[in-house]
Chains A and B, each alone.
Chain A
Amino acid sequence: MILTVMIILGIVAIGALGLASRRRQHSISNWTVGHRSNPKWTSWFLQAGESLTTFSFLGLAGIAFAGGVSATFAIAYLTISWLGLYFVTPRIRALGQRRGYLTMGDFFEDRFRSRWLGRVVAAIGALALIPYLQLQITGLGLIVELATGSTSARGLSMVIASILVAIFVAWSGLKGIARVAILKDILMVVAMVVIASGLAISFNGIPSIFAKIATEAPVLLTMNVDGYDPVFFVTATLVTVIGSSFNTLPHLWPPVLAAKSGQVLRSNAKWLPIYQLVLFLPITVGLAAVTVLPEGTTGNTVLLSMSRAILPEWLVGVIAIAGASAAMVPASAIVMGISTLVTRNVIGNVRPSRQMTVNYLAIFVAIGSALAFGLVRSDIGALLLLTYGCTTQFAPAIAIALARRVRVGAWPIGLSIIVGSLTVAVITFAEIPIGSWDSGLIALVPNLLVLVVAEGIRRARGGEDITQVAFDPRIQHHTAS
């Protein structure tokens, strides 16, 4: 009971930190990107949000428990993504600054000069983010349940955290998310160090864990584990790198657009790979768990089960609060991503005075539906593949639109995204067996085929490059790019 109270108080404190702003944001642009002047460290913590999430907390240790060192695919894709983002994010920010983007939908609308394309991309993006939002809320509930052993604490924590996220995001916007993101990363690193120390004490040093694995389950030190073979490693890494390098997840756009300069984004991309070294700790926990927990243990429960086995109760509480923050920060960014896409692009043409009202409505509908699905324990594991699979289909189009001249028309782009997304949906819902391959990677084939054929037809009918409209004499020299 004391542990439950401690964790709930921790969640409330995280929400209160997000709310700690004197004034409510009244304009959707300030709410989403502030003054577009975020300095290095604010941008750092906002951008690092995707590195340390509930997946790092629950999923990665579970994959290491079942698949051994193949879990390093997460370190591989997150690191390689920064190699791509170093080039991509400054360009997105520069275009956003000149052309007034708040969302990925704005980018598509402007670069391809097509409102319907911005609407289609925004609708697919917003729908694809809902399972990801639910995953964060469900993950938070699972962390609390595993730490306390109480099912009622699970539901209560999910409801409280969802309400707090909705309120602080609505009130403070990106500024509130940034404040909580700083706390989250500090808590996550503390939690990982605590767990690592616990392991080192329990096993007489970290190397002895691996020596034990080498004798008891040596296959886990290789990439020959069933289901976690080289095909899994290469395809899972490749598809995520394609998606992440082009920033295809819509909720990751506001931190990029809000950065003070391209230099800030380049500087962060140069150093953020270092953050991935923290992920070696959950992987080590997952491997250590092989020697402690029963074979059939559910993957997602491994890290907290190990924590309960080796740490005192109050430290388990600290780790659970860190886990809760790892769910609340991505959840708040996702909620913002969905609401801005809906308000700005899907509905569009909303009077400025009404935009925030529509935005609030979108926030509460998005988080309310994700919470409702989470409380009835709907299995969204398969649907989560839609999040990555569908948003990866934006990658070719973003690559084309980042060029100085946009040479492909809106129709070929829209058609290729729709075909790619539908392919992912068919593979997911019809449960078509694809082995260790990733549905998003497979769907890129029809996506690119349609893109090439449709653009060929457009060109044959006299279609030309997209020319951008010069709209401000002070920055006229930029508009050709």
Chain B
Amino acid sequence: MTPRLFTPGRFAIISVPALGFFAIPFLPFATTPTLWLGMPAVLVWSAVMVLLSVGALQIVEVLYQKAGGREADAREAERFDTEQIEQIRAQRIATEEAEGIR
């Protein structure tokens, strides 16, 4: 069984930077002209949210790997080549048509 990548806990982690972006227009530094270290505060905040997004995804990846993602990635290495996949698709469509379910 493949482990789930999307879980409520992981969604909560990535929600932090996402909400940080959506909140920008309502934060005090976006309603009055503000410079931080000579840069517009909105630009600085956005840059921090970009970096926070990268960090949040690193955490999510570690959690997924610990929850069985590593083994799932190893199993995924067994792949079909493109022509094989095309044949499999043709078989599937033929089966579905024969069963009258398309």
Contact = CB atoms under 8 A, between A and B. Distances in A.
Contacts of A206: 38-39
B53 to A, nearest CB: 5
Contact of A34 (B35, B61, B82): B82
Contact of A211 (B14, B38, B61, B91): B38
A269 interface: yes
A interface, size bucket: 35 or more
Given A79-B53, A87-B5, A481-B2, A210 B35 contact: yes
A115 B50 contact: no
Interface string A383-397: 000000000000000
A277 B33 contact: no
A369 interface: no
Contact of B18 (A29, A72, A83, A261): A83
B50 A277 contact: yes
Contacts of B24: 72, 76, 223, 233
Interface stretch (A214-222, A246-254, A293-301, A314-322): A214-222
Nearest to A271: B54
Interface in A255-285: 261-263, 266, 269-271, 273-274, 276-277, 280, 283
Given A29-B82, A76-B24, A471 B50 contact: no
A83 to B, nearest CB: 4
Given A274-B50, A277-B47, A471-B95, A37 B21 contact: no
B25 A86 contact: no
A35 B86 CA distance: 11
B31 A224 contact: yes
Interface residues of B, number: 56
Contact of B76 (A30, A37, A222, A261): A261
Nearest to A258: B82
A234 B22 contact: yes
Interface in A166-207: 206-207
Contact of B57 (A76, A270, A280, A471): A270
Contacts of A241: 18
Contact of A469 (B42, B60, B101): B101
Contacts of B91: 471-472
Interface in A418-474: 469, 471-472
A400 interface: no
A80 B11 CA distance: 12
B50 A273 contact: yes
Nearest to A466: B101
B66 interface: no
A72 B33 contact: no
Interface in B58-96: 58, 60-61, 64, 73, 76-77, 79-83, 85-86, 88-89, 91-92, 95-96
Given A276-B50, A280-B43, A270 B58 contact: yes
A83 B17 contact: yes
Given A87-B6, A97-B79, A214 B25 contact: no
Contact of B25 (A87, A97, A233): A233
A230 B26 contact: yes
A261 B77 contact: yes
A69 B26 contact: no
A273 B14 CA distance: 13
B33 A214 contact: yes
Contacts of B101: 113, 469
Most chain B CB within 10 A, of A69, A82, A91, A262, is at A69
A237 interface: yes
A100 B50 contact: no
A156 to B, nearest CB: 38
Contacts of B56: 83
A289 interface: no
A140 B17 CA distance: 34
Given A80-B53, A100-B85, A69 B43 contact: yes
Contact of B42 (A86, A223, A237, A263): A223
Nearest to B94: A471
Contact of A472 (B37, B64, B88): B88
Contacts of A233: 24-25
11 contacts: A29-B85, A35-B82, A83-B57, A91-B5, A100-B88, A221-B40, A241-B18, A261-B73, A261-B77, A266-B64, A273-B53
Interface of A: 27, 29-30, 33-37, 69, 72, 75-76, 79-80, 82-83, 86-87, 90-91, 94, 97-100, 110, 113-115, 206-207, 210-211, 213-214, 218-219, 221-224, 229-230, 233-234, 237-238, 241, 261-263, 266, 269-271, 273-274, 276-277, 280, 283, 287, 469, 471-472, 481
Given A100-B89, A110-B92, A261-B79, 6 more contacts: A80-B18, A97-B85, A98-B88, A100-B85, A469-B96, A471-B88
- 7 tightest CB-CB pairs across the interface, nearest first? A100-B89, A207-B38, A230-B25, A471-B92, A218-B33, A69-B42, A221-B33
